[in-house]
Amino acid sequence: MFDGFQLEMMELPEATLRVRYGGSGPPLLLLHGHPRTHTTWHAVAPLLATSFTVICPDLRGFGKSSKPVNHHDYEASSKRAKARDCVALMDRLGFEEFYLAGHDRGSYVAFRAALDHPARVLKLAILDGVPILEALERCDAKFASKWWHWFFYAQRAKPERAILSDPADWYQGNVESMGRENYEDFQSAIHDPETVVGMLGDYRAGIAVDQVHDREDREAGRIIKCPLHVIWSLKDDLEDLYGDVLSVWQPWAEKAVTGAGIDCAHHMAEEAPVELAHALKTFFGGI
């Protein structure tokens, strides 16, 4: 897994991140989603490493990265805080500007990094996500029934008790679709109580402060300046919830938003790595 890549624990100003990186060429930062770790990219990263220097961290609170100490507003778990980690990580590696792609919860961090640090992000790819504020404002019975976990995970104490009673059954996943080493890393994460709490903090921040940050940006007229490409899983429910996914994103972007669906279910990096790597290479200019 990740042949030729280096693995390090990197101390940054606000967090310590487990980071895997390798390849050569322009820097490309990949951000995983919930409940995965950076190893979800194990089949995609080597394909991209022929054209890019690929950097894959465990997000703050996830995997083996440090766990934030949260208070009432969960700012330490906010996408703004995690975006600061991304910029600090790229500073540590010596990259002033970089390409950025995020999946699921990582897509919200990527979105926030592009908004808060526009001079740093050259191009942005969003995988299986819409802005948190858009999701909450468009919430209806269909969203609440399909994405009920957003609201359950945002509650205090009860979610971790439910998950930790049987993490493997709660999150499922299997060796065949994930690959053995990725599956084992995932199992280690979901069986660690501190990691489970750290992952839940991401959802609690979404309800508490992330939507506030999105609203402040919208009211101030701040939008994404760099090219934005959106990719979604055709066998997941993004199209079912929002119809034209690109139209949800267009008000948040200065340039015309591009994108398309991939014929797979939600964990696209594991289920369709070749197709996803091709789509990212095409957008970021590696082809």
Catalytic residues: 104, 266
Q: What is the dihedral of CA 259, 109, 116, 96, to 10 degrees?
A: -80
Do 154 and 203 meet the contact criterion of CB atoms below 8 Å apart? yes
Distance CA 101, CA 127 (A): 7
- Determine the residue type at 82: K
Write out the two tokens for 18: 């487990």
Cβ count near 243 (within 10 Å): 10
CB-count burial class (<10 Å; 0-12, 13-18, 19+) for 218: middle
Phi and psi at 242, nearest 5°, equal: -120, -5
- State which H helix or E strand residue 27 sits in: strand 27-31
Alpha carbon separation from 278 to 26, 44, 46, 234, 238 (Å, rounded): 16, 9, 12, 17, 21
Do 54 and 30 meet the contact criterion of CB atoms below 8 Å apart? yes
**Could you say which DSSP state residue 257 is in?**
P
